[in-house]
Structure 1
């Protein structure tokens, strides 16, 4: 969309009671907007916006009730982690194109494409004005997005807001769940992933290290339902988690500064020392020195696995 198109957009949005919100965001994120025209005539028939939001100030929350609803839902349910953002999709069409029109399909396809392409997208919210039953069915039951709005009936300001947590159900899992050829669900559907804060994740890693020899106990770890483990296809979650922990410990040997941390972790968790006192004795270290090396090693393992949880296996680097 260009600057000269904003006036037309405001006319379309005025009928939806959203002109003020549109003007506000067009001034701040004009690049987020798209204009749709009829091929035959060049007539503007619809607009969409894909707002990328990592932080919001009070002015932005007051300016747009849909964004405020989305931001409040994200914060209350599973807040953003470092480097993540929220995407809010907005759709406006001229009245004669409401409902199941081709332009609605094109706009929705683009919004979903933005969701699938976005890096570090935590939540997506799609606002739809005057939703009909077909679109509610498509986004809700078939696409697995929840409607969190409280619609005030069918008046001019009626809208729905559909939400999806891409950390809990990543793009590949979401695509596998889509209905295929009229079926009730796509092949290879996978359980919803758990979204842990960094503190919760580190606490689970510490517990899992202590449980490393026990696959039956590891199976109950919340880490088995994270992206970290889900990327290890072909293994049981407990086996995959155990392998990841051992790999993270072994990787410390590659860093000369962390060799002493690796030795403390290895003796304690991989070689079965019955107590920490025995582990310190085997290493020939004073107990306080051993404890310091062990604590530093655990912090490194937590940090390395957290980086992998956030960015994926391809971006994983120890150190």
Structure 2
């Protein structure tokens, strides 16, 4: 039997008196929190705690912020061992794990060329930046005992954009669980983590139509107590002078935007894994990407290719 049956669900609005929510611009995207708590004061405090944690993680791992831990690592990593927090070790370790698992389809060192792109202004990395880029996760070495990291080449730069939001939504769920909250939805851009259900009904998460209107949904998923991460070529992109879509999901082996797929959604127990997996599958392509997901317990994927065809991993039933 398939693990999920993809269906469209219609339901009446919940009673909003005990639902507490907020939306803020954090981590370069829109962070949304919705949770249920019977007491107004505690509910609002829980929402504030989630936003504060999101802001903390953003401040620590923003590669452009000169005060961030990640900026310091990128500045000094090639000069020798750089002491870092236990949390940074955890994030880097996870990133390197997915580098090994995907044979480099996921690579946290894509930043050596990725930072040359500006999708808001339509700026490409220059040919010189491509020539000088060194993208190889194997050149990042962790000393877990000393809590330190070093880079094996001066041109290495790390970006945790493919993993930090997934980690952040998991941390938010941990915080809420510690406060006894049992029903919540936290999203940061394409990453969503669900705590419990929606008071007796599943949460309904939507996968956008990559070539549809802004809010057009291609598939709706009833979920609870799971994470959903979507990587698409339609969020941060521009069309260049040749009519080519230049988007932020780079193929680490070429340094250019990955092609062949427009959207990948991965379902699993936590965002710390679904976030990097959705990026990995996008880069790997339909066949290899599904092989990867089908080899992993507890994960499923939905892929929409450049022709609008939809593909499902083995545990999913088509709608």
Q: TM-score, normalised by structure 1?
A: 0.26
Pick the structure with greater CA Rg. 1
More strand by share: 2
Structure with bigger RCO (C-alpha 8 Å, 6+ apart): 2
